[in-house]
């Protein structure tokens, strides 16, 4: 069924396409579906990815930028020379595939365990942090006049949103209380510079090859805000996958990340980066708690939700290491 629909869709806008083959679902999350397939063409098949809202799924939730905005941002990044797939087509009602877009398929790896341990990425690991610093700088430098309409997020609003969500669980956690107090006391206020923020720049949303970073994916949480947020988020310990002595994704140092960022002509504020690392650690902890709540309350009692929910205790340890480090 999906191959027939994709075939009709692709034939309408891709000159010479005769259909599609090999359609396979890569993920089926609550908010988005991702399908891989090949466009059949006389000059050779072309790898593509469909990203769409699941059938029957309504408007994007409050924090999500929306699929049209995602497509625009990815194409802006591609056109600016950043590692981003080329957007080939934004779905229209007559395509009968729902809301979403089709993009170029980039070969590479997204699984952190493989990136951090497999021999084929051995040469990439030492240069990744600096590479990613340059990529983040490029994202923050995309011209505001070309951006789609996005929500704006400040540190003050983020603290309030996290506290409201945390209290809705009615599940007291002293370490989260400590973190909220720490953040309120050190709230830097409005950022002097407001830029595009990717919002989820980390393992899983980066395609890595033996040569390094090849693409940035999943712009769903993109917004306008403090550019230091992206630098803090990628340093959260949960994205190091056991390599805790390498703060940037388990493969590099903050100094390397910052050097790449500043090589691209932008300025790092390390104090604000630390603030956002604490914020990001708390945010992930509260997200884990939310998964546990949904597991408890059902109707989806999936083991995956329970496993992610368990990780909230790991974020408590991470927060204590950040807020009350041992000598």
Residue range 311-316: average pLDDT? 92
Going from the C-alpha of 186 to that of each of 180, 197, 209, 227, 316, the distances in angstroms are 10, 21, 39, 17, 19
Task: Enter the pTM of the model.
Answer: 0.93
Beta carbons within 8 Å of 165's beta carbon, 6+ residues apart: 286, 290
Length of the chain: 327
- Note the pLDDT of residue 149: 96
Chain centroid, CA 126 distance in Å: 22
Residues 194, 60: Cα–Cα separation, whole Å = 23
Q: pLDDT tens digit string along 159-177?
A: 999 999 999 999 899 999 9
| Number of CB atoms found within 10 A of residue 63's CB | 12
214, β-bridge pairs: none
Question: Do 64 and 31 form a contact (C-beta atoms < 8 A)?
Answer: yes
Helix/strand/coil for 113: helix
Extents of the domains making up the chain: 2-104, 112-323
Query: 112-323 is classed in which CATH architecture?
Result: Alpha-Beta Complex (3.90)
Give the per-residue pLDDT at 55: 67
> Is it true that 2-104 and 112-323 share their CATH fold?
no
- 102-148 pLDDT, tens digit per residue, is 999 999 999 999 999 999 999 999 999 999 999 999 999 999 999 99
Q: Is CATH 1.10.287.10 correct for 2-104?
A: no
Spatial separation of the C-alpha atoms in residues 293 and 288, rounded to whole Å? 9
Rounded Cα–Cα distance for residues 239 and 202 (Å): 7
């Amino acid at each position: 069924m999906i191959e027939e629909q994709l075939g009709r869709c692709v034939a309408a806008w891709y000159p010479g396409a005769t259909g599609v083959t090999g359609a396979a679902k890569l993920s089926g999350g609550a908010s988005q579906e991702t399908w891989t397939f090949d466009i059949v063409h006389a000059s050779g098949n072309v790898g593509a990815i469909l990203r769409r809202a699941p059938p029957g799924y309504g408007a994007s939730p409050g924090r999500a930028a929306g699929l049209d905005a995602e497509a625009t941002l990815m194409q802006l990044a591609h056109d600016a020379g950043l590692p981003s797939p080329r957007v080939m087509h934004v779905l229209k009602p007559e395509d009968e595939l729902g809301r979403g877009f089709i993009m170029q398929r980039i070969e590479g790896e997204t699984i952190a365990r493989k990136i951090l341990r497999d021999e084929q990425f051995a040469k990439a690991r030492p240069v990744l942090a600096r590479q990613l610093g340059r990529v983040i700088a490029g994202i923050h430098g995309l011209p505001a006049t070309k951006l789609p309409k996005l929500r704006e997020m400040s540190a003050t609003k983020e603290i309030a949103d996290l506290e409201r969500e945390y209290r809705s669980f009615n599940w007291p956690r002293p370490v989260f209380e400590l973190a909220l107090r720490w953040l309120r006391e050190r709230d830097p206020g409005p950022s002097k510079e407001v830029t595009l923020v990717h919002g989820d720049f980390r393992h899983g949303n980066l395609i890595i090859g033996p040569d390094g970073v090849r693409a940035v994916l999943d712009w769903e949480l993109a917004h306008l805000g403090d550019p230091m947020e992206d630098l803090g988020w990628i340093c959260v310990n949960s994205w190091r996958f056991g390599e805790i002595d390498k703060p940037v994704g388990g493969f590099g140092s903050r100094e390397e990340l910052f050097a790449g960022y500043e090589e691209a002509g932008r300025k790092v504020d390390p104090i604000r980066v630390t603030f956002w690392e604490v914020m990001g650690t708390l945010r992930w902890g509260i997200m884990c708690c939310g998964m546990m709540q949904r597991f408890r309350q059902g109707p989806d009692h999936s083991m995956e939700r329970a496993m992610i929910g368990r990780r909230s205790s790991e974020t408590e340890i991470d927060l204590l290491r950040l807020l009350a480090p041992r000598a």
